[in-house]
Amino acid sequence: MRILVVAATAAEIGPVTAGLRRAGGVKELTTYTSNSHEVDVLITGVGMVATATWCSLVLSRGRYDVALNLGVCGSFDRSLTPGTVVHVVTDRLSELGAEDGDAFLSIHQLHLLGENEPPFVEGRLVNPAPPVSATLAGLPAVNGITVNTVHGCDQSIARVTERFAPQVESMEGAAFMYACLTLGQTFAQIRAVSNIVERRNRDGWKMPEAIANLGATTLRMLSES
């Protein structure tokens, strides 16, 4: 099986690459092996622009059996405690739009993009057919948003929660999903909660635990077939 693993930073998937055998590669794309799998690991850099660019470039060169976007995320849903690994099944570009006084108009409300214009479904990016995996099926399925500026203000958290009711947020997820949906690539976005979305509180973060749990989950998934 040929697998593409996409992450913003090498640190987020350190336990994953540590559990694989390096076989070569150059610059952002490194090839590993795991059992009978060939695993290409793509480190895109942080943010939507870098992720969209690198994913489109790599995926346009050839099809993978599955592409996995791995990373950490913040949680709006307090039942998803730090360290929890989730499967992001829908994502949204929550900042794409315009301000109208105190109101926010999405790109769809501005009629610049249809709510069901591909690859969108009712204004969201939706994974219609995740890969078959018992590990993946056992993860909480959540709705995400992708942002350029992570939330850390009570007022902005309240506004985005009212508008979109997200459960998690990242800085890359929707860009990855957009590329996969556009190019017809089977995929899954898997993230571990590093913190609750609130006023910035580093003391409440569980980054090492999130990265460790994400790594263990991914390696278990790779061992299934």
pLDDT reported for residue 103: 86
Q: For position 116, what pLDDT does the model report? A: 94
| Confidence check: pLDDT of 2 > 90 | yes
**Would you state the structure tokens that stand for residue 18, as one six-digit string?**
């540590």
In tens, the pLDDT along 109-165 reads: 999 999 999 999 999 999 999 999 999 999 999 999 999 989 988 999 999 999 999
What single DSSP character describes residue 171?
A: S
Give me the DSSP letters along 113-126: S-TTSTTEETTEEE
- What's the mean per-residue pLDDT of the chain? 94
Whichever domain contains 195, its CATH number is 3.40.50.1580
Identify the sign of the CA torsion 181, 132, 89, 65.
negative
Confidence category of residue 71, pLDDT binned at 50, 70, 90? very high
Three-state DSSP class for residue 99: strand
Element (H, E) at 184: none
Q: What percent of the chain has pLDDT over 90?
A: 81
Tell which wins on pLDDT, 153 or 173: 173
Strand runs (DSSP E) across the chain, as ranges?
A: 2-7, 21-26, 29-34, 37-43, 66-75, 85-91, 97-100, 103-106, 120-121, 124-126, 141-146, 168-170, 187-196
Range of the domain at 88: 2-222
Q: How many CB atoms lie within 10 A of CB 176?
A: 34
| Alpha-carbon separation of residue 46 from 8, 9, 29, 50 (angstroms) | 5, 7, 15, 7
Considering the chain, what percentage of its residues have pLDDT values greater than 70?
98
At 54, is the secondary structure helix, strand, or coil?
Answer: helix
Q: Structurally, how many domains does the chain consist of?
A: 1
Q: Enter the pTM of the model.
A: 0.94
pLDDT > 80? residue 67: yes
